[in-house]
Structure 1
Amino acid sequence: MIKNKLSLLLLSALLTVIGNGFAQTKSLYPKHEFRGVWIATVVNIDWPKSGNDPIVKQKEDYIKTLEAYQKLNFNAVIVQLRSVGDAFYPSELAPWSRFLTGKEGEASEDYKTMLEWMISEAHTRGFEFHAWLNPYRATFDLNKTQLSPQHDVNKHPEWMIKYGTRYYYDPSLPEVQEHLTKIVEEVLVNYDIDAIHFDDYFYPYKTPGEVFNDAESFMKYGNGMLIEDWRRSNVTSFVKKIHDLIQNQKPWVQFGISPFGVWRNKSVDPKGSDTRSGQTNYDDLYADPLLWMNNKWIDYLVPQLYWSIDHKTVSYSKLLKWWTENTQDVNLYMGNAAYKIKADSDKKWDNIHEIANQIDLTRAHEKAQGNVFFSAKSIINTNKEVVELLQNHQYKYPALPPVPPRLKHIVIDTPVLENKQKDSANYHLTIKMPLNTKVRYVMVYGATNDSKIDSNKPQQILKKQFVAPKTESIQINIPCNNLIKINTFAITFIDLYGNESKESVVEIPN
């Protein structure tokens, strides 16, 4: 009892420090933590800056974004490849996105390998690549003149429901579910991705005075259910289809969903959060992430907690606590509103420590394993003070993404050194490819003369090197300038599932 009281006092003190804006003094550097960023392509929010830019400039801008977040020790990019019934890759099921090529449905030959290149560049810099797809949103507005003849609004108008200022796929139609599943399969099978990712766009957010007119579909497929339960069952059915698809095709690929931050309000359901949100997942978007989690159909959740820590009606701290108390058997990361920094009516976002404080508060909850930020331009382009805080404190050292429960296993192979050499500039290591493990990365750790190798310490990470498929042997080059006072290496494998092998210790050649 005394021990518990002391723990509560310590936690209370920590939260007080965080609330007062001194989060940057906290020294906590986890080895495993998800550090992700959404790269939004719809209406060119983050990248490309324009669909009319030359492909050379688009590639340069993409690399700049990756390198900025690599420098910040992020480890995952969530890249939007389908936003409004379009595609950022050659597809038989959707037209080229105008946000990439300038005109929907048209692309030069150079674009055909664009996505493959994007994934490779991300992997080379140590990022997981999560393919972000918006399944149900068909258009961004009602202007059909900018749509390709191959867009589903034109090919299959019977699939569409006009609501507010956009068109949406009718989630209840079996042919729509089949079509959207094939779209996911096209990306899953053809590209070396690490995850399929959906965000919060299921049934649309409520528009006052508008009715989502799926009455005809409900009459045909409702089967005596309440319309609310029926709509939820349509989304649930699709989520399960994607889970089954991934399990059958590439079981090492994760399936992650980023729902709206509030499941239900406590005023409606005693199991809900202590919030007063105008809309919720369960009641308005007809999405039930707790059901998907309980059935183990997803690998991670990223609830979008886009409010300040102590917001009066929908607070980050209360929602963080609720999600950690109601999440199990999946990885849980928090979605953070970087776009609100110095740009929101809630003046708490004027405090440059708000994001750092949210990261620290997230770390104070054992079940919360990282953060994802919306969106890419909001930190690196406009908020240098926040970048410096993260770079010097919260994200001072690298971290590896945590492995979701479904994907955890023991890596039986350990690295075997075939050769080691040194020249005037570099150490050169040659590692034998293992027989039983498909390797995604090789990790290199280094210890100074007065310390022991400990691969659990992120401070000792020297390098994370991507291993391309079909590689026959692994060549690692480490600049001598990076090894001052270091006399011992440790090398590990990371497999396609994200699991790390036991280390092999290598003495540095003289």
Structure 2
Amino acid sequence: MHPKNEFRGVWIATVVNIDWPKTSIDNVEKEKADYLEILEAYKKLNYNAVIVQVRSVGDAIYPSEFAPWSRFLTGKEGLAPNPYYDALEWMIEQAHNRGFEFHAWLNPYRATFDLNKNLLSPGHDLFKHPEWMIEYGGKYYYDPALPEVQAHLTKVVKEVVDKYDIDAIHFDDYFYPYAVPGKVFNDNASYQKYGAGLSRADWRRANVSNFVHTISTTIKDSKPWVQFGISPFGVWRNKSQDPRGSETQSTSNYDDLYADPMLWMDQKWIDYILPQLYWSMNNTRASYSKLVKWWSENSNNTAVYIGHASYKIRGDSDKSWNFVTEIPTQIDFARSFKNVSGSAYFSSKWFMGKNFDVVRHLEENQYKYPALPAAVPNLRHVIIDTPKVIEYNKDSIRYNFTFKSPLNTKVRYMVVYGGEHISKIDINDATKIVEKIAVKEVDGKITFSIAAGKLNLFKACAVTFIDYYANESTPTAIDLKKPFKNYIPAQPNENR
């Protein structure tokens, strides 16, 4: 089974140099080469989205008014890259050039990774606003209850949305911190001030929900096509806590992290949900198979993607992860639910230079052919423009195409499909996708070329637009056996 529309994402973690940059002291040239290596590896595997961590501990991998440069990027917090480049702008462009969606991943509430203040720049919020911080379990956190914290973190997100050509803002599972045995998250002062008679648990959930709602409206007011996706911990609530919960015995979003993904979906505040189902198919405490079914039955108004734990392959006490087939089986199982429409993997390094057998299995089976992420439910619409060919020709090396820029559609990509005959091209067949091209419009025209080797296999092709919302237009077919030039007649002179 090869779905034509499927989200295939990979998390690229920058915090403590998990995935990229490989070390904090790499030079710019090496950083760039390593990032491109990640993109190329996942393009070869037919992935179509990268989820890149751009803010992890009150810092930024881009020039920000609200945060210092990340030490994971430049070796020292607050220090700009040298030679200077805007890492985020460059990463987005490189991703788009290879047909990936770019999801900018931020950890809003985590302010530091440890208690060592010597590693922080004087521009860090811990020094500028110590009254915003709560120390807990060896880290500092922004207090989610404070209106000024919410306002500040909203500006952080808005800056990224306004300045950068991203496809989505992505939050992961860190809301209120995971419980540390014997430690108390001391938000007494803000609870006394703002608690308003709610139980502490309900009040904390309300703080998170208010923030999620604000971020949602902030994104859509600025750029309605930018998605807001959240990747919560894999369990909403256990059945023992709530009859609507899942058959699991686990930490849960609602009761432990004060996050209520069900509410966010009901209110249409998020565009996709990507629960982290980092367990094996039949794990006894939290089974992947039961949870996929649970999320598919309990999500609404959003696209549903599944988060997989590639980091657990051959590295977990649960021996199911020793089998090459664990992740392929998980993908096949998720695909059997019609409203589950993709997967993402934590994290990028686990399919690079290791786990070759799993990678090969995916390359030959589940991910043998490309796929396009579909528009999320709230952004679906019909594109009224269809591609209009101005010129098409070929030589021994390449096929060259020129199209008229559409009048009503902001186009992100064009997709080319191959076929046997101009009347027989199935654009719903993933095996017929030849190429997805990032669009550059110049003087009202879109021009691109495709290597002859790729198109020589076909007698005809069809071309579609993909807009910024990820919707696809109806196709225009081209007979590849005939050169084509559209001669525009001279316009009569109206001023005679």
What CA distance in whole angstroms lies between the structure 1 residues aligned with 2:452 and 2:372? 24
2:416 corresponds to 1:440: no
Aligned to 2:8: 35
Please state which structure has a larger fraction of its residues in helix.
Answer: 1
AA paired with 1:101? Answer: T
2:73 corresponds to 1:73: no
Aligned to 2:296: 324
Identity percentage of aligned residues: 60
What CA distance in whole angstroms lies between the structure 1 residues aligned with 2:383 and 2:481? 27
AA paired with 1:285? Answer: L
Which deviations, in whole Å up to 9, do the C-alpha atoms of 1:435-462 show, x marking residues without a partner?
Answer: 1110000011111369920111111111
Aligned to 1:153: 126
Deviates most, 135-144 or 470-479:
470-479
Aligned to 1:269: 242
**Aligned positions of 1:4-403 closer than 5 A:** 28-108=1-81, 110-277=83-250, 279-403=251-375
Which deviations, in whole Å up to 9, do the C-alpha atoms of 1:346-393 show, x marking residues without a partner?
Answer: 010000110000000000111111110000001222111011011000
AA paired with 1:159? Answer: W
* 2:86 partner SS: helix
* 2:424 partner SS: coil
What CA distance in whole angstroms lies between the structure 2 residues aligned with 1:204 and 1:36? 25
Could you tell me whether the CA contact under 8 Å between 1:306 and 1:335 is conserved in 2?
Answer: yes
Could you tell me whether the CA contact under 8 Å between 1:449 and 1:485 is conserved in 2?
Answer: no
2:356 corresponds to 1:418: no
What CA distance in whole angstroms lies between the structure 2 residues aligned with 1:174 and 1:449? 61
Could you tell me whether the CA contact under 8 Å between 1:131 and 1:193 is conserved in 2?
Answer: yes
* 1:362 partner SS: helix
Which deviations, in whole Å up to 9, do the C-alpha atoms of 1:303-322 show, x marking residues without a partner?
Answer: 00000000011100011111
Deviates most, 419-428 or 87-96:
419-428
AA paired with 1:167? Answer: Y
Flag as ranges the 4+ runs of structure 1 deviating above 3 A.
Answer: 108-112, 468-472
Deviates most, 337-346 or 476-485:
476-485
Equivalent of residue 430 in structure 1, options 396, 399, 402: 402
AA paired with 2:371? Answer: A
* 2:459 partner SS: strand
Aligned to 1:21: none
2:377 corresponds to 1:405: yes
What CA distance in whole angstroms lies between the structure 1 residues aligned with 2:232 and 2:8? 18
- Cα deviation, residue 110, structure 1: 3.7
- Cα deviation, residue 103, structure 1: 0.4
Could you tell me whether the CA contact under 8 Å between 1:442 and 1:491 is conserved in 2?
Answer: yes
Deviates most, 294-303 or 484-493:
484-493
Which deviations, in whole Å up to 9, do the C-alpha atoms of 1:454-477 show, x marking residues without a partner?
Answer: 111111111100014667321121
What CA distance in whole angstroms lies between the structure 2 residues aligned with 1:437 and 1:482? 28
Could you tell me whether the CA contact under 8 Å between 1:422 and 1:509 is conserved in 2?
Answer: no
Deviates most, 160-169 or 102-111:
102-111
- The 1:55–1:485 alpha-carbon spacing in structure 2 relative to 1, beyond 3 Å, is closer
Could you tell me whether the CA contact under 8 Å between 2:422 and 2:477 is conserved in 1?
Answer: no
Could you tell me whether the CA contact under 8 Å between 2:440 and 2:447 is conserved in 1?
Answer: no
Could you tell me whether the CA contact under 8 Å between 2:233 and 2:276 is conserved in 1?
Answer: yes
What CA distance in whole angstroms lies between the structure 2 residues aligned with 1:232 and 1:471? 51
AA paired with 1:291? Answer: L
Which deviations, in whole Å up to 9, do the C-alpha atoms of 1:269-290 show, x marking residues without a partner?
Answer: 101000001x110001000000
TM-score normalised by L of structure 2: 0.96
TM-score normalised by L of structure 1: 0.93
Please, which runs of 5 or more residues in structure 2 have no aligned partner?
483-496
Equivalent of residue 459 in structure 1, options 409, 427, 431: 431
Could you tell me whether the CA contact under 8 Å between 2:28 and 2:82 is conserved in 1?
Answer: no
Could you tell me whether the CA contact under 8 Å between 2:310 and 2:350 is conserved in 1?
Answer: yes
Q: RMSD in angstroms over aligned alpha carbons?
A: 1.2
Could you tell me whether the CA contact under 8 Å between 1:89 and 1:111 is conserved in 2?
Answer: no
* 2:363 partner SS: helix
Which deviations, in whole Å up to 9, do the C-alpha atoms of 1:46-99 show, x marking residues without a partner?
Answer: 000012111000000000000000000000000000000000000010000000
* 1:486 partner SS: coil
* 1:387 partner SS: helix
